[in-house]
């Protein structure tokens, strides 16, 4: 059984059909890229998977469970984590406290009541900051970070609950070339314990880090397969030529 299986996903907004039977299958420890032209339904599919939108039709299974009717919180508890284009960082807090809050959200009420967490979590906070090359900024306000660093902080926060699946919608938007390269490096190690679905416009970036790709066009899956299969696919080449 795959880790995630979304099938027959339809999403209608008024008169507009944003998704028309879209599907996505992701295995364990797989990095999966979701690509397609602007407005093709990528973000809507991510939201239907994460529970931020309710599909008009279709089924989402995750870790052998039908989660179609689960709330976003229930999905998070089942091991799904997402970071969207809009930031969840609290800019006036330090990086340390942003990560601490994300970790505390995973703790039991009992731990919080007895204030057992700050000491216990200190090592975890510093490990995460180090992993995302932010340790030397631990006690700066998050607002002082560069755009790229803020994205890395958010990815670190999205990983605080040790998810089995991380969903990233255009994490490298607005990043410099160097920041993109570093983002690729920072994501690689998480593959040991987590799968990834990533929406990206930068095809070089996605080809470098992903195992498999799904291409959507006008709310439907145009192709799904390994990076080389997709690169060789004639209809995929056509939509990208059409866009250029």
Ligand X SMILES: Nc1ncnc2c1ncn2[C@@H]1O[C@H](COP(=O)(O)OP(=O)(O)O)[C@@H](O)[C@H]1O
> Where on the chain is the footprint of ligand X (CB under 6 A)?
13, 16, 18, 36, 38-44
Span interacting with Mg ion, options 43-51, 76-84, 87-95, 129-137, rule CB under 5 A: 43-51
Please identify, using beta-carbon distances, which residue of 126 and 203 lies nearer to ligand X. Answer: 203
Q: Which one among 40, 43, 149, 150 touches Mg ion, defined by CB under 5 A? A: 43
- Cα gap 174→35, rounded to integer Å: 17
Least CB distance to ligand X at residue 214 (A): 12
CB of 216 to ligand X, least distance (A): 7
Which region, judged by CB under 5 A, interacts with Mg ion, from 11-19, 42-50, 52-60, 231-239? 42-50
> Which two tokens mark 50?
């994460």
Question: In this structure, what token pair is assigned to residue 87?
Answer: 């930031």
Residue 43 CB, nearest approach to Mg ion (Å): 3
Which CB, 145 or 196, lies closer to ligand X? 196
Given the complex with Mg ion, which of 30 and 170 has the nearer CB atom? 170
Question: Which three-class secondary structure state does DSSP give residue 2?
Answer: coil
- From ligand X, Mg ion, none, interface partner of 44 (C-beta below 5 to 8 A by class): ligand X
Q: What burial class does residue 208 get, using C-beta atoms within 10 Å of its C-beta: 0-12 exposed, 13-18 middle, 19+ buried?
A: middle
Q: How far is the CB of 169 from ligand X (least distance, A)?
A: 7
The pairs formed by 143-147 with CB atoms below 8 angstroms and a separation of 24 or more are 143/91, 143/92, 145/95, 146/179, 147/174, 147/175, 147/179
The token pair at 83 is 């970071």
Residue nearest to Mg ion (CB): 43
Distance CA 235, CA 56 (A): 27
Cα–Cα–Cα angle for 214, 219, 224, rounded to 5 degrees:
15
List 244's β-bridge partners, or say none: none
User: Per CB under 5 A, does 195 bind Mg ion?
Assistant: no
Minimum distance from CB of 208 to ligand X (Å)?
21
Binding site for Mg ion (CB under 5 A): 43
């Amino acid at each position: 059984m795959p880790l995630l299986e979304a099938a027959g996903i339809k999403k209608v907004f008024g008169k507009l059909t944003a998704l028309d039977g879209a599907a996505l299958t992701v295995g364990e420890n797989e990095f999966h890229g979701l690509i397609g032209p602007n407005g093709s339904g990528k973000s809507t599919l991510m939201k239907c998977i994460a529970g931020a939108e309710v599909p008009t039709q279709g089924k989402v299974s995750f870790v052998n469970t039908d989660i179609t009717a689960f709330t976003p919180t229930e999905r998070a508890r089942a091991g799904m984590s997402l970071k969207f284009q809009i930031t969840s960082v609290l800019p006036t807090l330090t990086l340390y406290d942003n990560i601490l809050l994300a970790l505390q959200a995973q703790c039991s009420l009992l731990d919080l009541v007895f204030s057992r967490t700050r000491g216990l979590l200190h090592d975890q906070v510093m490990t995460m900051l180090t992993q995302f090359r932010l340790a030397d900024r631990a006690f700066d306000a998050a607002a002082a970070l560069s755009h790229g660093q803020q994205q890395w902080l958010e990815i670190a926060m999205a990983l605080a609950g040790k998810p089995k699946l991380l969903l990233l919608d255009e994490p490298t938007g607005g990043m410099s070339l160097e920041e993109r390269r570093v983002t690729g490096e920072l994501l690689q190690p998480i593959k040991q314990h987590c799968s990834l679905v990533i929406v990206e416009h930068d095809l070089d970036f996605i080809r470098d880090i992903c195992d498999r790709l799904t291409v959507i066009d006008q709310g439907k899956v145009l192709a799904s397969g390994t990076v080389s299969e997709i690169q060789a696919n004639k209809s995929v080449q056509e939509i990208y030529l059409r866009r250029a």
